[in-house]
Every structure is written in structure tokens, then in C-alpha cells.
Structure 1
Amino acid sequence: MSSAALKRKAQEVSSYWEAPFCGEGANCFRLGTDAEGNTYIAVTGHEDRPLTDTREVLAKLILDIKAGKADHVL
């Protein structure tokens, strides 16, 4: 999906964004969905540039992060 198309899509799902989730420190993220079953993760304030994929792929990403598999990059 082109960046322009992704930006339009992110604007379309703006009503589906959940409240921000803030971990330790100042990093806050928002989760969103659309009617087609896609899931979005974005840094709060930058919802026009989300990471998007299927719900299953992003759920696995979140579970892997919680399991510590990304600790080496944090």
C-alpha cells in the first residue's frame, strides 16, 4: 500500500482508535481497527503513519514483545 493510500486509510479508521497506551517513559501508542479486519499500531500523535497488518500478525508481534523477544532493541 502506498504511503498516500496508507495515510487515507489511517484517517478513515480514526474513529476506531483506542485510548493511548503509555508504558514506562514517554512512549505512547494507540491501537486501531478498520471494517476490513486490519489492525493498526501508531505512536500517539502520529496516527497518520501507522504500522498496519492483519490482526493475527500484529497480535503475534505484541505477544512476542511482551515475551521479551524485542528487549535487545529497546
Structure 2
Amino acid sequence: MTAGITWEEPFCGEGNNCFRIGTDAQGNAYIAVAGQEEHHLTDSRDALRTLIRDIKAGKADHLL
């Protein structure tokens, strides 16, 4: 795993799409495909929180 990042348990949607969300002590948030955490995207916790809220609100349904 990537040093300094605390990863949550994988979240798996329908099919085999599993993602992991992580955070670090500096306030950064990370998202990665489960098993490929070394290739993560990084942003602030606020940005990740907004992304999750928007997904839950259906704002990304057109991408599915």
C-alpha cells in the first residue's frame, strides 16, 4: 500500500467496479481502483466530499 494513506474498505458497485477511498494526516483525500492504490487520484477532503454528495444526488448518472 501507499505509505501515509489510510484506506477504507473497498466499495464495490454492481459488477466488478471496486474503489477505495483514503485520507492522510495532511487533509488530502484519495480515490483508487481496489488493488491499484499506487495509481490514485488526489484532492482535498472537501472536494472528495462534494464528489460523493453529487454522486449520491444522481449528478453522475449520465456517466453510467
Distance 1:39 1:51 in 2: 8
Alignment of 1:10-25 (within 5 A): 11-14=2-5, 16-25=6-15
Q: How many angstroms does 1:13 deviate by? A: 3.0
Is it true that 1:34 corresponds to 2:24 in the alignment?
Answer: yes
- Which consecutive aligned stretches of 4+ in structure 1 deviate over 6 angstroms post-superposition? none
Among residues 62, 65, 72, which one is paired with 2:52 in the alignment? 62
TM-score in terms of structure 1 length: 0.78
Structure 2 stretches lacking a partner, 5+ long: none
> SS at the partner of 2:2?
helix
**RMSD (CA atoms):** 1.4
Relative to its length, the structure with more helix (as a share) is: 1
* 1:51 Cα offset (Å): 1.4
Q: Which runs of 5+ in 1 are unaligned?
A: 1-9
**Sequence identity (%):** 64
Structure 1 distance, partners of 2:11, 2:37, is: 13
Given the two structures, how large is their TM-score scaled by the length of structure 2?
0.89
